[in-house]
Amino acid sequence: MAKFHAYRNLKICTKDCLCLFVCPTGAADNETGQIDFTKCIGCGACANACPSRAITLIPNKMPSQQPHDEKVVKALFKVANTKIEQIKILKGLLQNTKEEQEQKLYKALIHANKVGIEDLMREAGYMLPESKNTHELLEELKEKTPSKKEEIIKLLEKLEVNE
């Protein structure tokens, strides 16, 4: 199996098409606009040729995550908790107003706080599919939601723990 595969960022691809000419396998020439992973051998010729730097080589096997430092984890949860507190306050405010502009503001702040928590957790490796806590959460959900048990088991089989 190739060590890398190429990924094209369609938002910055300027369609110069040099990648199509240099690719030895035809993987870069795909009707979907994305590179065909089944044909890509990870040689990097497309990434080197691309004038827009729109192609990145992604390792097929990610390195293990670094151990989580206790101090950092504490600080992380402290920040996340302040965001959760803000969401609670904002939800209360939202319930108590009928004014449209105010409602929009509270909704936007709730959304921003949720996105902030997600970003924090992801950056810290706490929401990565391969992290141990994701598996623990799925194991818990598997027991709590019998109707989804089968699907969660399938998902767990596909997610390799890499921590």
CB 163 within 8 A of CB 132: yes
Question: Among 3, 44, 123, 140, which residue interacts with ligand SF4 (rule: CB under 6 A)?
Answer: 44
- Nearest distance in Å: CB 32, ligand SF4: 13
Q: Tokens for 18?
A: 């040099």
CA–CA–CA angle 76, 81, 86 (5° rounding) = 130
How many residues at the interface with ligand SF4, by CB under 6 A?
Answer: 28
- Nearest distance in Å: CB 44, ligand SF4: 5
In sequence order, what DSSP letters do the residues of 116-136 get, joined into one string?
Answer: HHHHHHHHTTSS-TTSHHHHH
- Nearest distance in Å: CB 94, ligand SF4: 44
Question: Among 7, 30, 34, 43, which residue interacts with ligand SF4 (rule: CB under 6 A)?
Answer: 43
Residues in the chain: 163
Q: Which amino acid is at 15?
A: K
Stretch that binds ligand SF4, among 19-27, 92-100, 123-131, 134-142 (CB under 6 A): 19-27
Question: Among 45, 90, 121, 124, which residue interacts with ligand SF4 (rule: CB under 6 A)?
Answer: 45
